[in-house]
Amino acid sequence: SGGKASRPTHRCRNIMDQLKRTMVGNAAAPSSLSRTIMLKEAVVSEEISVAMQTIETASAETTDLGPFFGLPTKVKDLMYSLRGIKNLYAWQETCLNLECIQARKNLIYSLPTSGGKTLVAEILILRELLCRRKDCLFILPYISLVQEKVRGLASFGLELDFMVEEYAGSKGKFPPLKRRSKSSLYIATIEKAHSLVNSLIEAGRLENLGLVVVDELHMLGDGSRGAVIEMTLAKVLYMSKTTQIIGMSATLGNIRDLQEFLRAENYTNDFRPVQLQEYVKLQDTIYEVDPKEEECFRFSRVLNFKYSSSMQKLDPDHIIALVTEVIPKNSCLVFCPTKKNCENVVGLICKYLKEDFLKQRKEEKALLLRDLKESGNGSMCPVLRRTIPFGLAYHHSGLTSEERKLVEQAYSDGVLCLLACTSTLAAGINLPARRVILRSPYVATDFLKRSQYKQMVGRAGRAGIDSVGESILVLQDKDTHMARSLVCAPTENCYSNLMRDDGKGLLSLLLSLIGLKITTSMDQVRAFLSGTLLYVQQEQLCADRSLWEAVQRCVQLLEDRGLITGTERSQGHPLQVTKLGRATYKGSVDLTYSKVLYQDLTKGLDGLLLNSYLHLAYLVTPYEMLSQCKPDWMTYLRQFTLLSPAEQRMTTAIGVPESFLVRQAAGQTVRKSRAKQLYNAGYKTPSHLASADPAVLSKTIENLYKKQAHQIVASARMLVNEKAAALQEEVDDLLMVPLDLP
């Protein structure tokens, strides 16, 4: 077939070459007579017309004009050489050939985890970049996923001549660089994508964005992050009529709401390349998940693993029994509720593994350990140093991006047979396993959502390796009832989060709309909001007051906080942001804290010390962390005494004077009422207490025993001595003759 296809192309090229030679010859011929010139021009004109028709015919006949879903053969070859993908699944071909895709309409498509959703999105992105020469935005939920996707698509960018730009963590430029010859693929986290879209709107460049792809679209229903996704997509829909939106989602019960919001078609398929068998474990018994059963669980087997009494205490959930049934011959993922639990689990399993595990792929494990040590500049996590020789490791956000990359590659290559990981790994990183174990039905302290559960168990089963994948959810008796709902309940619904926390998302949206001049009047605000998911779901979500009443309240609140001007109080004036309002939405600052943050920054400037980093510790401490801070005031005071006089003045300026710390430390050492007694009795500083006579102190302060008085005086003397020693060092440094004195 290759020979037949090449003959017409070859014949067309011969015709084109002949036409080109004839045209060049005609152009070079002598021009003596005007009639000759006229005839020549007519011939040239006819030849150009024939040439254009020939080229069009050749293009139609050639086999390389978009044979791979509208993309050149080179893309198909790269898919094979870089990804090992030779053929697409039937559902992927169906999806890519949908009429709405050909017409560039918006689409939401839903499949189980590991069904191959991302490949469809990548082909659509490549089509937009290469064929329409437009930029694309790929939105992913986590930094680690962004980094993995940047690595995965960078090779395509180099081969196909487009830019791959990372927008995660501290990376990303706003607005992005405007490139003349190359298209750009922006791969961004949810928050960075919102800032990127804002910057493109402000620069008047949103029309250059041809396609927006959102992974995990069901996260629209996920708290404040869901509100940010909704803001981003609503702005794209309102400001650009040519940008296509593609959403990949878990199966949802109210998918029609999302379709109405995005004006999108929907494609659903229950395809999985490997069959999934779901189980739960209660005590020492395994039950198969079967929604047809009345109790949802059907008895499968009893665990066959002998535990000693000490082992039973350390591993009451039988994690060791569950993993040793599959490793090292097959791979296993253990999802844990916290990062610390990941480390504890791999450490525990290693204690009870046979020495045979150490012999498997010994050299490759040694190489991995060396690479990890090099990436950490000579230092390495002691947990990984102990577990990797057994073929085990943990995977969570505490690892650096380089460490994660090394661990993921080692697991993919089979050097590691088990990873203990947090839920982040379930959300898109392609590391499947023969068996997936959910250590607990919780993420931190929150009970799993069905979408999270489906993501995790969806990692079970490796396409092309396993015929079946297994998932086992470890349960305690108290969680059984909720777990039945989790594994057997119908699909979840997804609701707008703009009204969450008393309309915090709606406030942020309105402020940015006014700041970006998307809306400068209340009528325009009303028009914009009619294109949100909140508008679609207002009957369910706006029970207390109508959506428009909520909007008017929010606009008034923004004006009261000094963030905007031009509301109904000032008739005839357009809605505008103040300087504080602009700083708030541009810095993505929580509106609850914007005013107090501005005041604190102003106060911080008064105490700014350029010869010390102390003021930075004050400026960067998040407000929401305050409730978690429970300092040891004695240690705090001790550190305070070691500060330079200038630094101590700065702490006083921001409201932490020495007298406050003394009172706190005294209150901690004895009782808070005792601190007040000491202060009222004239013992206001550590120096006063250090100079006190314990016997006099005992008589002066009511109910203070001599032993306690001695302890207080001793503590105060220690603090004063430390401060004196620190000051003496400063004096010595100042009086020391410089070694390099000429």
Instruction: Annotate 683-706 with three-state secondary structure.
Output: CCCHHHHHCCCHHHHHHHCCCCCH
Residues 279 and 259 in one domain: no
pLDDT, tens digit (0-9, with 9 covering 90-100), for 523-532: 999 999 999 9
Q: Is the pLDDT of residue 318 over 90?
A: yes
Q: Is the pLDDT of residue 329 over 80?
A: yes
What tokens does 486 get?
């989790």
Residues 263 and 347 in one domain: no
Does a structural domain hold residue 12?
A: no
As a whole number of angstroms, the distance between CA 314 and CA 352 comes to 11
As a whole number of angstroms, the distance between CA 82 and CA 93 comes to 20
Which of 424, 454, 488 is the last residue in one of the domains?
A: 488
Does a structural domain hold residue 121?
A: yes
Does a structural domain hold residue 353?
A: yes
**Mean pLDDT (whole number) for 295-321:** 88
Specify the pLDDT at position 686. 78
As a whole number of angstroms, the distance between CA 400 and CA 731 comes to 42
Specify the pLDDT at position 617. 75
Tell me the three-class secondary structure of 282-337, residue by residue. Answer: ECCEEEEECCCCCCCEEEEEECCCCCCHHHHHHCCCCHHHHHHCCCCCCCEEEECC
CA angle 207/208/209 to nearest 5° reads 90
> Which amino acid, 678?
L
Full domain range(s) for residue 463: 275-488
Q: What percent of the chain has pLDDT over 90?
A: 43
Residues 429 and 298 in one domain: yes
Which of 441, 460, 488 is the last residue in one of the domains?
A: 488
Residues 294 and 397 in one domain: yes
Residues 546 and 469 in one domain: no
Residue 3: band (very low, low, confident or very high) from pLDDT cuts 50, 70, 90: very low
As a whole number of angstroms, the distance between CA 657 and CA 650 comes to 9
Specify the pLDDT at position 666. 67
Q: Is the pLDDT of residue 365 over 90?
A: yes
Weakest-pLDDT range from 16-30, 608-622, 689-703: 16-30
Count of other CB atoms within 10 angstroms of residue 99? 8
Q: Is the pLDDT of residue 24 over 70?
A: no
Specify the pLDDT at position 170. 87
Domain of 555, CATH number, reads 1.10.3380.30
Which of 570, 594, 618 is the last residue in one of the domains?
A: 594
Q: Is the pLDDT of residue 348 over 80?
A: yes
Specify the pLDDT at position 67. 79
Specify the pLDDT at position 2. 44
Q: Is the pLDDT of residue 267 over 50?
A: yes
Q: Is the pLDDT of residue 474 over 90?
A: yes
State the pTM of this model.
0.71
What ranges make up the beta strands (E) of 461-558?
A: 468-475
Which residue from 468, 437, 444, 281 is spatially nearest to 346, judged by alpha carbons? 437
> What's the N-to-C CA distance of the chain in angstroms?
87
Residue 468: band (very low, low, confident or very high) from pLDDT cuts 50, 70, 90: confident
Specify the pLDDT at position 1. 41
pLDDT, tens digit (0-9, with 9 covering 90-100), for 232-259: 999 999 999 999 999 998 777 889 999 9
Domains identified in the chain, total number? 4
Residues 261 and 279 in one domain: no
Specify the pLDDT at position 511. 95
What tokens does 472 get?
């086992």
Domain of 258, CATH number, reads 3.40.50.300
pLDDT, tens digit (0-9, with 9 covering 90-100), for 83-141: 888 899 999 999 999 999 999 999 999 987 777 889 999 999 999 999 999 999 999 99
> Which amino acid, 452?
Q
Specify the pLDDT at position 311. 87
Residues 351 and 394 in one domain: yes
Does a structural domain hold residue 366?
A: yes
Count of other CB atoms within 10 angstroms of residue 222? 19
Does a structural domain hold residue 17?
A: no
Does a structural domain hold residue 621?
A: no
Residues 423 and 461 in one domain: yes
Residues 440 and 341 in one domain: yes
Alpha helices in 574-632 (DSSP H): 579-586, 594-606, 614-620
Residues 317 and 360 in one domain: yes
393 in the Ramachandran plot: left (φ > 0), alpha (ψ -120 to 50) or beta?
beta
As a whole number of angstroms, the distance between CA 444 and CA 423 comes to 10
Weakest-pLDDT range from 8-17, 556-565, 703-712, 730-739: 8-17
Q: What is the mean pLDDT of the chain?
A: 84
Q: Is the pLDDT of residue 393 over 80?
A: yes
Whether the CB-CB separation of 162 and 183 falls below 8 Å is answered with yes
**C-alpha dist (Å) from residue 714 to 669, 691, 704, 719:** 12, 10, 15, 9
Residues 327 and 402 in one domain: yes
Specify the pLDDT at position 624. 72
Does a structural domain hold residue 142?
A: yes
Residues 196 and 243 in one domain: yes
CA angle 40/42/46 to nearest 5° reads 115
Q: Is the pLDDT of residue 435 over 80?
A: yes
Does a structural domain hold residue 67?
A: no
